[in-house]
Structure 1
Amino acid sequence: MLLIYNEKTNPYFNLAMEEYFLKNTTEDLFLLWRNESAIIVGKNQNTLSEINYEYVKEHDIKVVRRQSGGGAVFHDLGNICFTFIACNNNHFSDFKRFTMPIVDALKGLGVNAEFSGRNDLLIDGQKFSGNAQYNYKDRVMHHGTLLFSSEINDVSAALKVKPIKFEGKSVKSVKSRVTNISEHLKEPMTVLEFKDYLMDFIAKTDKDSKMYTMTDEDIANIEKLVEEKYSTWEWNYGNSPKFALSNELKYPGGNVEFNLNVEKGIIKDIKFFGDFFGKEDVSFIEEKLTGVKHSEEGIKEALKDVNINDYFLNATVDVLVDGIMGVK
């Protein structure tokens, strides 16, 4: 088994790295890595319905879609991510096979961790690890999170969705009580000391394991995948399942209700209702926004030459952007 100790913390790079090694290697691999603040959403999720859009925007948190299913998770530098890539051999959905080495490593530190339910690891009934899998041809990729010293309040705030009505068939995240591994250690460790310990432990479980350092060619290919896929709006937002969004916003000119349908990240139709005033008919704005990307940039570009005050008295483009993006 090849062991990769990755020190890069860019979430776009790290998610692309997983796909690259899954699709371009034949050996078994084990990877350890960390992300700077980011939300990683499952392949089948509606990104906007999983995140606190205002919080994510204010704190400049990257949002990245992964290849595997399951729910959205928050990453920061206090969280360690691990990835196993192996020949399938009917191991898809066998979460316990890939998580037991982690459980054993923690027991070596005196932490009573256990596998629970479908894909979680717990300490004293509290979750510290969520896991997901993705199958590609005859290969399976299993990856998971390990909350070590994460900012739990940030986890909660970033994933706390406000009461906006999203309707669709996307997979919803299940919120759980969470804990950090560091709170259960008998002797204190830093997150990087724990990462080193974990790599050493996994190495000792496989006598044929050896460290692998990414080559310049590996990195160049991963960066290409970042540019073409993982850093793009199309993958991270546009790939969301079809959904309907309704929102209501109060501004100095009155109340506006926003109702829209979005498919593959594109506004298919939109209607405005409310007690606002305007000298021009809002149907013009509705037509301007039909077929536009459901993003701040897309909306602003479509309305850049429009005097919003003519349609929504005392409003600005920012008021419409907030309402259409689901901000209260």
Structure 2
Amino acid sequence: MLFTFTRTFHASRTVLHLRRHASTSLLSPNHSIYVSSSTNPYFNLTFEDWLFRHKSPEKPMLLLYRDDPCVVVGRNQNPWKEVNLRAAHEAGIPFIRRFSGGGTVYHDLGNTNFSIHLPRATFDRHATAQVVLRAVRSLGVDATVNDRNDICVGKDKIRLILSVTRAVLRSADGRLDIYVSGSAYKIVKDRAYHHGTMLISTRLDTLGELLRSGKDTMETRGIASVRSPVCNLQQHGAQVSHEEFVNAVVNAFREEYGVVEKVHAVDDTGGAQNIEYIRKGMAELKTWDWAFGQTPEFTYKIENTFPWGTVKAEFLSKHGVILSCVLYPPEGAEESVKSGLALMSMVLEGQRYGAADDRPRSLARDSEDLWAVWDWLRKAMDS
């Protein structure tokens, strides 16, 4: 099913009314404004990438969508560092590595995502932030853009709805900027895009739980997100809906770039299934090679105290594979413990991080102390 949009005019603003109808038309990268009715994050992220690769770069383009609950990490990030994988698994919420850089964000139906594509020669991050700012202001929200192209709302202009990063920073006048969500950029050859999130009524408790990994001793060469306080647009007296925000961004986009074309509605059925690039892209996002295998090199130092002493471990991993795991036995440990830990290190080398064997046959079957160490390591990697 697709959505069609009709236009009426109120106070010089275009209001889009959604009417559901069946459609068998094929998807085309030749439109200027797209609104996805699909809430499948694998489709929306792949569709965005397909548009970026196939849309003519000479003309501006806008895509708006929202997703079912998921955690989206940046192209060059470490999911073990960024995401509470155990909590996500227990909640049935997937994490997805997107095609662009930037930090980790949480998506659900209370969060609306925008993507503004422009020719590289005219791409301006401040200008695209201003488009979203005008949309927010048109909804009756007092907002400004700071010197980092972040949109601030609230009485003291300290709450941010849109941000370039999720770091907590102080602005030039000493204000504490509190980042709610994140936005990222991608530039390839003659085209570029700026995409980001707008938290409207998202589950902030779930967001906080899933983006708290607790791995302070994990050091990665990838881009690390910095935790910060968050809030929703609706927390500031604005009873804004997804549809109202979509309308506002569409109007602001049209005014900025002189676009008169109607909105093109899409979903993940029909024509989408006939495009090989989208089918393959959706499948790739779900693979281990993409989700974990793209992880930059990282080290992780941990220790645990057992009744018989403290064991320290130091992992080195790249592309999701354990390159080495050095295990340090307790002082005065017996030779059997030392040799057992040395053998354990060799067994772990070359295995996928977070997917070590349950109980390898090569380890002694009668050493409960060593099995306790093995189970601790597996749990540490799997969380």
Range into which the TM-score falls when normalised by the shorter chain: 0.7 to 0.9
For residue 117 of structure 1, report the CA deviation from its aligned partner: 3.8
Q: How does 1:79-158 map to 2 (within 5 A)?
A: 79-91=111-123, 94-123=124-153, 124-129=157-162, 130-158=182-210
Q: Find out whether 1:287 has 2:339 as its counterpart.
A: no
Change (3 A) 1:323 1:252: farther
The answer as to whether partners of 1:37 and 1:61 remain within 8 angstroms in 2 is: yes
Matched position secondary structure for 1:248: strand
Task: Say which of 315, 319, 322 aligns to 2:372.
Answer: 315
For residue 99 of structure 1, report the CA deviation from its aligned partner: 1.8
Matched position secondary structure for 1:270: strand
The answer as to whether partners of 2:61 and 2:117 remain within 8 angstroms in 1 is: yes
The answer as to whether partners of 2:298 and 2:317 remain within 8 angstroms in 1 is: yes
Structure 1: which amino acid aligns with 2:85? Y
For residue 75 of structure 1, report the CA deviation from its aligned partner: 1.6
For residue 149 of structure 1, report the CA deviation from its aligned partner: 0.6
Q: Find out whether 1:2 has 2:2 as its counterpart.
A: no
Change (3 A) 1:302 1:292: farther
Task: Say which of 255, 280, 287 aligns to 1:232.
Answer: 287
Q: How does 1:182-221 map to 2 (within 5 A)?
A: 182-186=234-238, 188-199=239-250, 202-203=253-254, 206-214=258-266, 216-219=270-273, 220=275, 221=277
Task: Name which of structure 1's ranges 207-216 and 241-250 shifts more when overlaid on structure 2.
Answer: 207-216
Matched position secondary structure for 2:76: coil
The answer as to whether partners of 2:110 and 2:203 remain within 8 angstroms in 1 is: yes
Q: How many residue pairs end up in the alignment? A: 320
Change (3 A) 1:153 1:304: farther
Distance in 1 separating the partners of 2:309 and 2:147: 48
The alignment-based identity, stated in percent, is 27
Distance in 2 separating the partners of 1:119 and 1:266: 37
Q: Find out whether 1:176 has 2:232 as its counterpart.
A: no
Change (3 A) 1:316 1:119: same
> What is the TM-score of this pair, normalised by structure 2?
0.74
For residue 322 of structure 1, report the CA deviation from its aligned partner: 1.1
Question: 1:65: which partner in 2?
Answer: 97
Question: 2:174: which partner in 1?
Answer: none
Task: Name which of structure 1's ranges 155-164 and 99-108 shifts more when overlaid on structure 2.
Answer: 155-164
Matched position secondary structure for 1:238: coil
Change (3 A) 1:246 1:176: same
Task: Name which of structure 1's ranges 212-221 and 4-13 shifts more when overlaid on structure 2.
Answer: 212-221
Task: Name which of structure 1's ranges 125-134 and 252-261 shifts more when overlaid on structure 2.
Answer: 252-261
Task: Name which of structure 1's ranges 255-264 and 144-153 shifts more when overlaid on structure 2.
Answer: 255-264
Distance in 2 separating the partners of 1:36 and 1:308: 45
Distance in 1 separating the partners of 2:296 and 2:94: 20
The answer as to whether partners of 2:161 and 2:232 remain within 8 angstroms in 1 is: yes
Structure 1: which amino acid aligns with 2:189? K
For residue 233 of structure 1, report the CA deviation from its aligned partner: 2.0
Distance in 1 separating the partners of 2:352 and 2:191: 35
The answer as to whether partners of 1:33 and 1:80 remain within 8 angstroms in 2 is: yes
RMSD: 2.8
Computing the radius of gyration from Cα coordinates, the structure with the larger value is 2
Q: How does 1:48-63 map to 2 (within 5 A)?
A: 48-63=80-95
Distance in 2 separating the partners of 1:71 and 1:176: 12
Distance in 2 separating the partners of 1:102 and 1:303: 54
The answer as to whether partners of 1:271 and 1:286 remain within 8 angstroms in 2 is: yes
The answer as to whether partners of 1:3 and 1:209 remain within 8 angstroms in 2 is: yes
The answer as to whether partners of 2:343 and 2:363 remain within 8 angstroms in 1 is: no
Distance in 2 separating the partners of 1:271 and 1:29: 51
Change (3 A) 1:307 1:23: farther
Task: Say which of 235, 240, 249 aligns to 2:304.
Answer: 249
